[in-house]
Copies of this chain bind each other. A is one copy, B any other.
Amino acid sequence: MSSERLIEDFNAGKPAALARVVSIVENHREGFEEILSTLHSRTGRAKRIGLTGPPGAGKSTITALLVKNFRDAGLRVGVIAVDPTSPFTGGALLGDRVRMENVALDPGVFIRSMATRGSLGGLAAATRETADVLDAFGFDRLLIETVGVGQSELDVARTADSTVLILVPESGDSIQTLKAGVMEVADIFVVNKADRPGADRLRNDVELMLGLRKGVSFGNVPAHHGVDLKRVNPARVAREAAAAANQTVWTPPVLSAVATKQEGITEIVAALDRHFAYLQQSGTLRERRRERMRERVMDVVERKVSERLWKDPGTRAWLEEQLPSVEGGTSTPFAVADQLLRQSGELVRGEQRT
């Protein structure tokens, strides 16, 4: 099928064309840049929602319920699962609490797993590109599910307009498994399995950490769940600075949910709506999307440089010749890198080596 015909079918909303385009883009097959360039002007309409949290927090169940909620409201939903533990990744289902099959058969829903992606190309960059494709296809909401543990996964969470952090009371340690910085990235906190012991304490801990509780001296509060409450909280400091400057301020809500009983989902949807309204009114949406665009360009630049350098047989051969002296200690990685770059200006510019 020609590239023009594929784009035509894509623009006409044909599901097969969508699957084909996503696959070409994900695997960086011949022509993926042209396709993304063609689709580019159609992006920017979808609201991108990140869902993150430790393994076992119930992210997938909440994602499935959000899909159902959005579908009931007539919205089309794309799901990008970056969490290897997610049932959406197509592996074994962790449970049948939610009927994933119904979701999977609905033409208004598209699910894509990126969990088994190799290490070539950044996960965050790949997620942004797949999200752009789904956005251009016309999905109204994009749900990006990622386990909040690794660094790449935190970078993925940063690609969303709104980020929901899902926590559970039973595993106090689980907060420790989160990458430092995840707490600061979250716009909405959800304490899932809120009917279990320890839920109130977890809520308190999170609120304390956010600086939402008044009249508490941080100096006297012991660290729960490994979270050092005495540490200055960047989110709180930013909020206070914004308030002092008379700007609109977003205070992250700490919601409760029991996803297995479908409780608390409409509250999450309402909080997402409030957050999106805040993003628009405060100008934060424009800032976040500009930042995303900046990172898009920088990703592409860095990827092009890597490809142009490492796919060039002459450069690879030259590098191999240098390795023995680096190993022997008569040269260093830095000296070789400097020389490689001095002689590769044309390659980086995209020209043939003369």
Residues of B within 8 A of A312 (CB): none
B40 close to A332 (CB less than 8 A): yes
A153 to B40, CA, bound (A): 32
Q: Does A305 contact B (CB under 8 A)?
A: yes
Q: Does A283 contact B (CB under 8 A)?
A: no
Residues of B within 8 A of A149 (CB): 55, 84, 147, 149-150, 153
Task: Report A219-254 CB contacts with B as 1/0, cut-off 8 Å.
Answer: 000010010100000000000000000000000000
B348 close to A85 (CB less than 8 A): no
B348 close to A36 (CB less than 8 A): no
Measured as residues with beta carbon below 8 angstroms from the partner, the interface class of chain A is 35 or more
Looking at A20-28, A66-74, A100-108, A336-344, the stretch in contact with chain B turns out to be A336-344
A55 to B309, CA, bound (A): 38
Looking at A1-9, A160-168, A274-282, A322-330, the stretch in contact with chain B turns out to be A322-330
Q: Chain B nearest CB: distance from A246 CB in Å?
A: 26
Q: Chain B nearest CB: distance from A17 CB in Å?
A: 20
Q: Does A269 contact B (CB under 8 A)?
A: no
B85 close to A173 (CB less than 8 A): yes
A177 close to B85 (CB less than 8 A): yes
Q: Which residues of A contact B (CB under 8 A)?
A: 33, 36-37, 40-42, 44, 54-56, 84-85, 91-92, 94, 115-119, 123, 147, 149-155, 173-174, 176-181, 223, 226, 228, 289-290, 293-294, 296-302, 304-306, 309-310, 319-320, 322-323, 326-327, 329-330, 332-338, 340-342, 344-346, 348-350
Known: A149-B150, A294-B323, A341-B350. 20 other contacts (CB 8 A): A33-B334, A36-B332, A37-B335, A41-B329, A55-B173, A92-B223, A119-B154, A152-B152, A290-B327, A293-B327, A297-B322, A297-B326, A298-B310, A300-B336, A302-B302, A302-B305, A305-B341, A344-B349, A345-B345, A345-B348
